[in-house]
Structure 1
């Protein structure tokens, strides 16, 4: 097992993160109740077993909703060590 060493010289105690500019009232997009009511959301419980590769575009289309502010999709590949 390897160990990870972090040098304290990499970090400066005076480092300051940039602050976000203040938001102007009513400048951020927030859907109104009317807009939310107009969107008919059906259940998207999708379970699909397949031996084929998944398309990132197809998967992202399954989870996108007009009621979501953002969608974050994590894509990774795993291999069983016994089969390697």
Structure 2
């Protein structure tokens, strides 16, 4: 969240500072900030720019794992290490 705040499209509120008026002020600041809105819209476009929709990609990978008997070739070597 600190990175999001540094990039200008969000705000951080620490637990120790969480109280009703401070929270309300922060939420209103975010909702009323045209700069944050624009940055969030730009980020949204970047995140939604996908070759296939997420549900189709998830279905592909589930079917892939089923076709390849659990796809052991994709497992991390750490999976087989003892504790």
TM-score (norm 2): 0.23
Bigger Rg, structure 1 or 2: 1
Q: Which has the higher contact order (CA 8 A, sep 6+)?
A: 1
The structure richer in helix per residue is: 2
TM-score (norm 1): 0.23
